[in-house]
Amino acid sequence: MLRMTTSGESHGPAETCIVEGVPAGLPLDASVVDRDLARRQGGYGRGGRMAIEKDRCRFLGGVRHGRTLGSPICVVVENTDFCNWSTAMSPEPLPGGEPSLEDLRPVVVPRPGHADLGGIAKFGFSEARNVLERASARETVARVAGGAICRRLLEQAGVTVRARVVSIGSVRSTTAADLCDAKSVDWHAVEDSPVGCEDHAASQAMCEAIDEARRQGESLGGVFEIWCWGLCPGVGGYERFESRLDGRLLGAIGSIPAIKGVEIGSAFDNAGRPGSLVHDELQVKDDGQGRVIARVSNRAGGLEGGMTNGLPIVIRAAMKPIPTLTTPLGSVELPGLTQRDAHFERSDVCAVPAARVVGEAMTAYVLAGAYLDKFGGDSLGDFVASLAAYEARLESRGLWRPS
């Protein structure tokens, strides 16, 4: 079973990810992970912190001479900013008795929309520093590191995972895509855009909206779309509620900080249409290699009955605006319950372009887990052989052909 767990505080020494269950023999080196770390760090709308951090990973276990060992993989990304927080965030007791209030950098006015207040209540803390350090989206560095390892495994299965931004604030991309065909999106243009949106005019307007939000002391949310292709049908399951891939993906994407809504395919539009205009009809086509089942629409977003159906999985995620505002909202100071403006701490104006990379990581994690559940294998060779035998069986029956 594939399992990923993360540890680390935003201004602590490091962010760490442990990934268990990756087969032995997978080619893996730091550059594979660093590429995604750099993509997550980039994106127009980030704050001063990104000028401090130069995220690079180091493997502490599970990898030898550029290949996985089958043992848990431990990957660490150091927080360069820790040197500015070494007293406030010291894991060791501070020498010389009680630290001063200034040393501790307490946060006594919780930010509406942030974990501050709930965390104080949950853990019995007197202020929010312990809460926001872990609730910070800095934690997603570790997820992206772990997700890059999962993405590496999926590559061996012919599966690609990519995401694009489709809106920031009220600016929407107008580029149409065919949900049946991932190549209908210009993924190079997505990567070239400062906000991860291939629509050039919308991309520029998004940057301007971010500039304006910064001037107004505001923050902006948006929507990103994750695509996965090269999938064979029948991965996931309907046998147990935990097997359903829809639920696993919705939960994983919903666990990303600030994500408040997720849809698969055109789910919200589908809810208002009659069934005959929703379900993706089956056809027989001759693709030159023989007769095979095909579809001309993908409103289901690649998932039926909790399983892949061989079409691209398409997921949309809605991100709320970041809760830290330079023009703060009303809040209440603790203790004493005095009405105050919410705490302001250096933050980003918009992190939707970064969140799209986190969305890729969480999707890669869930899909790699589902592939391993089905095809197993302690070694990469066993995993690939099992997958190839399954895909050959589907092809011989005309149920599916790799595109």
> Does 141 sit near ligand EPS (CB under 6 A)?
yes
Q: Between residue 76 and residue 95, which ones bind ligand EPS under the rule CB under 6 A?
A: 81
Nearer to ligand EPS, 140 or 175 (CB): 140
| Least distance to ligand EPS, CB of residue 111, Å | 9
Structure tokens at 15: 């962010």
* Segments of 30-98 assigned E as strands: 57-61, 63-64, 67-68, 73-78
3-state secondary structure (DSSP) of residue 65: coil
| Least distance to ligand EPS, CB of residue 396, Å | 47
Task: Kindly tell me which residue out of 63, 137, 235, 307 binds ligand EPS, with binding defined by CB under 6 A.
Answer: 137
Angle at 55 between CA 167 and CA 18, to 5 degrees: 95
Q: Which residue in the block uniquely carries the two structure tokens 């097997």?
A: 243
Nearer to ligand EPS, 116 or 304 (CB): 116
| Least distance to ligand EPS, CB of residue 132, Å | 6
- Helix crossing, 352-375 with 30-41: angle to 10°? 140
> Does 348 sit near ligand EPS (CB under 6 A)?
yes
Q: Between residue 188 and residue 217, which ones bind ligand EPS under the rule CB under 6 A?
A: none
| Least distance to ligand EPS, CB of residue 48, Å | 6
> Does 260 sit near ligand EPS (CB under 6 A)?
no
Buried b (16+ CB within 10 A) or exposed e, 218-242: bbbbbbbbbbbbbbbbbbbbeeeee
Task: Kindly tell me which residue out of 136, 167, 266, 363 binds ligand EPS, with binding defined by CB under 6 A.
Answer: 136
> Does 362 sit near ligand EPS (CB under 6 A)?
no
| Least distance to ligand EPS, CB of residue 82, Å | 11
What single string gives the DSSP state of each residue in 335-388? TTTEEEEPP-----S--HHHHHHHHHHHHHHHHHHHHHHHH--SBHHHHHHHHH
Q: Between residue 42 and residue 81, which ones bind ligand EPS under the rule CB under 6 A?
A: 47, 49, 53, 81
Residue 312 CA: distances (Å) to CA of 12, 224, 225: 39, 16, 12
Nearer to ligand EPS, 314 or 322 (CB): 322
> Does 219 sit near ligand EPS (CB under 6 A)?
no
* Segments of 123-221 assigned E as strands: 160-168, 171-172
Q: Which residue in the block uniquely carries the two structure tokens 């089905």?
A: 374
Nearer to ligand EPS, 157 or 256 (CB): 256
Tell me how far apart the alpha carbons of residues 43 and 358 are, in angstroms, rounded to a whole number. 13
Contact segment (CB under 6 A) with ligand EPS among 135-143, 163-171, 190-198, 391-399 equals 135-143
Name the site residues for ligand EPS (rule: CB under 6 A). 10, 47, 49, 53, 81, 132, 136-138, 141, 324, 345-348
